[in-house]
Amino acid sequence: MLKVNDVTLSFGGLKAVNHVSMEVRDGSITGLIGPNGAGKTTFFNLVSGVYKPDSGNVEFDGREISGKFCYQINESGISRTYQVINLFKKMTVMENVLVGMHSRLKGGFWPSLLRLDIQKKEEKAAREKAVELLRFVGLEDRAFEQAGSLSYGDQRLLEIVRGLASDPKLLLLDEPAAGMNSKENDELLVLLKKIAARGVAILIIEHDMKLMMNLCDYIYVLYYGKKLAEGAPAEIQKNPEVIAAYLGGE
C-alpha cells in the first residue's frame, strides 16, 4: 500500500531523514520506533505532505504522492493524528468528527447555502456516520459535549475517530498512547486491532514498547535519521543494535 523509496530530508546541515525506505502492507499494523530526535515525526510529515523530500519518493496505492499538498494526500486515502492533541476544543465532539469528513463531502457552496435536498441528505448521512464512529470507540454519549471537556484519554480517542472520519486506507498515528495510563493503553491496543480488522492499515509511532510488541506485525527502527533495523517484534527485541541504541543496552 505505502512504499517509501530512499527518502532524504535535510534542515540545513542536519539530515533529519537519511535515505530511508519502508513499506506498509494492506491491513497491517506497522510500527516506527526510535529515540527522541530519531526523525520519526519528520518521516510522518514527509508521508503526509507537510514536507517534500530532498530526494527519493513516496508511493501510495501505486501512485507517487511526493510533493502533493496535505489535503490531496488525505483525499488519496491517508489520514493522521499528531503528538500534541489538536482538537477544536470549543466545538462539540460531533462537530470535530464532521470536520474530519470534509474531504469526502461533495455538497458545494450553493447547495449548502440554499439547503437543497441533496445537501440535507449528505449532512444526515454524515451525522449518522459520525455517530457510528463515536459508538465504535465508546464516545457516542458525549457527542454534543465540547471536545475540551473530555478527559485526556477520550480526547486521544476523539483524534483517532476524526482520523477515521475521512475513510482512510492508511492511518498514521503519532504517539497515540502518550500520557495514557496502563488501563487506557490496554483499551487502545484492542481498539487499534479492531481498526485494522476493518481493513484500515496503521503506521504508528510509539515509545511504549510493551504496546508496540503486542500490537505490530512489523517494526522499523530509526536512529539519527537512518533506518537501523526492521523486522517482526520478536526480532527487534533481540536485535543487539536496537538494544544498544534504544532499549538501554544490556
- The whole-number mean pLDDT for each consecutive block of 10 residues of the chain, a chain of 250 residues, reads 96 94 96 93 96 96 93 94 90 95 67 62 87 95 96 94 95 94 93 96 95 96 95 94 72
End residue of a domain, out of 117, 143, 165: 165
Give how many domains the chain has, as a whole number: 2
Residue 111 pLDDT? 58
Give the integer Cα–Cα distance in Å for 71 and 75.
6
pLDDT of residue 247: 57
3-state SS, residue 92: strand
Q: What is the dihedral of CA 144, 145, 150, 153, to 10 degrees?
A: 0
Q: Which residue, of 138, 165, 192, is where some domain finishes?
A: 165
- Please give the model's pTM, rounded to 2 decimal places: 0.90
CB 222 within 8 A of CB 191: no
> Can you tell me which residue has the cell 486491532?
193
| Cα dihedral 211→217→223→225 (10° resolution) | -120
Asked if residue 237 and residue 122 are part of one domain, the reply reads no
* 83 located within any domain: no
Give a yes or no: residue 82 inside a domain: no
Which cell is 217 given? 506485525
Segments in 138-208 forming alpha helices (H):
152-164, 182-197
Domain match, 21 and 69 both: yes
**pLDDT value for 125:** 87
Complete edge-to-edge strand list for the sheet that includes strand 170-174 = 78-80, 170-174, 201-205, 29-33, 218-223, 226-231
Query: CA 111, CA 115: separation in Å to the nearest integer?
Result: 6
Q: What are the backbone angles phi and psi of residue 178, rounded to the nearest 5°? A: -60, 125
Question: What's the pLDDT at 103?
Answer: 75
**Full residue range of the structural domain in which residue 221 is found:** 1-77+168-250
